[in-house]
Structure 1
Amino acid sequence: MHTQDAAAGAGQYLVFRLGGLDYALDFAKVRELRPLQALERFASAGEIVAGVAVSHGVIMPIVDMRVAFGPRPPQHDPRTDVIILQLSDAVVGIVVDGITDVVTLSLEQVQPIAGAASVDYLLGRGEVDGRRLIVVDIEKLMSVRKAPVGVRQAA
């Protein structure tokens, strides 16, 4: 039962699996969903940046979130998916273990995660139908941190 009040403050979130946990990100940032093997990759790189790919004429980096959040599986599973995101300043693909569904979460359903206040990309823990979801701000997670002017970064 949806009412105007219940819909206020609620948003759609794409749920994906990563290292045995369920994560959720703002569905408005999702441009496309593709199986990894269906994506045309034309360059490969290091561990986390898994290379460069093209989708519908757009060239984008592919970030393997499985490496960023734990050890890379020895091989790609047929369920390995790529979420192509339209961020404020770039199009980026992220490799995840699999996409499960799209859920609606209200602000009241997202609670802070104890001890994670210093991690700005973690919005909190949501619960939908008994499932616990780690809700992330994908813009902050994928942003490149730059050193302030005059501060040298380690080589």
Structure 2
Amino acid sequence: MEQIEVPDQFVDNNEFQLEGIDFITNGDQYLTFTLGEENYGIDILVVSEIRGWDVPTHIPNAPAHVKGVTNLRGTIVPIVDLRTLFHLGEAEYKPTTVVIVISLTNERVDRTMGFVVDSVSDVLNADVDEVKSHSSFGGSVPPDYVDGLVNVGEDIVTLLNVEQLLSLDDDHAEH
């Protein structure tokens, strides 16, 4: 899967806005990204923006995957490193490293969170019948965080369950 850098003309104050982009598709769309050598995707409808990597404000005694918080236009947003959460090795922050800001509001979740990823790859169009079950998935990602798998050429993209990712704080509060 090809890695892309966000073109300068789309960058404003270290942000890449997805608002106003029209996509035409018959299936679901996923923003794909890389963590190490692995490819992942999240529902593009919950992505509010993509920001360049900037060191967040540290939170004492936070879990290792919580890198801190950032002030996003008056809202305090926790920043989670998915590479650390999924035990994919030490995170390296490079020029392609970005934070994908996700917002979801429904009857179960009302949360905004930023996820650090190695790079954004592409927008994937996938019909429901293309998404394979993850029941036999033996990867490093806990099964609760996986919605399914999609073949893209010779690559496999792991589709993540955004609602589960956004409930990370709830999981840690119970322990």
TM over 0.5: yes
Moved over 4 A (4+): none
Residue 107 of structure 1, aligned match among 128, 152, 167: 128
SS of residue matched to 1:66: helix
**Bigger strand share:** 1
- Matching of residue 24 in structure 1 with residue 48 in structure 2: no
Q: Deviations over 1:57-111 (max 9, x none)?
A: 32100011111112223x4111111000002211100101111111111111111
Residue 91 of structure 1, aligned match among 112, 117, 128: 112
Structure 2: gaps spanning 5 or more residues? 1-24
**1:139 aligns to what?**
163
Residue 72 of structure 1, aligned match among 63, 70, 90: 90
Which amino acid is the alignment partner of residue 78 of structure 1?
P
Alpha-carbon shift at residue 146 of structure 1 (Å): 7.9
Q: Is the 8 A contact 2:46 2:102 kept in 1?
A: yes
Which amino acid is the alignment partner of residue 95 of structure 1?
V
Question: How many correspondences in the alignment?
Answer: 140
Partner Cα separation in structure 2 for residue 100 and residue 146 of structure 1: 30
**2:57 aligns to what?**
42
Q: Is the 8 A contact 1:19 1:69 kept in 2?
A: no
Which amino acid is the alignment partner of residue 72 of structure 1?
E
Greater radius of gyration (CA)? 1
**2:148 aligns to what?**
124
**1:52 aligns to what?**
69
SS of residue matched to 1:102: strand
In the superposition, the TM-score normalised over structure 1's length comes to: 0.78
In the superposition, the TM-score normalised over structure 2's length comes to: 0.70
Change (3 A) 1:129 1:116: closer
Q: Deviations over 1:7-39 (max 9, x none)?
A: 1xx1110001013100011000100001113x7
Query: Percent same amino acid at aligned positions?
Result: 31
Structure 1: gaps spanning 5 or more residues? 1-5, 148-152
SS of residue matched to 1:43: coil
CA RMSD of aligned residues (A): 2.6
Q: Deviations over 1:90-147 (max 9, x none)?
A: 1100101111111111111111124249923311110234431001111123312388
Which amino acid is the alignment partner of residue 43 of structure 1?
H
Partner Cα separation in structure 2 for residue 34 and residue 77 of structure 1: 13
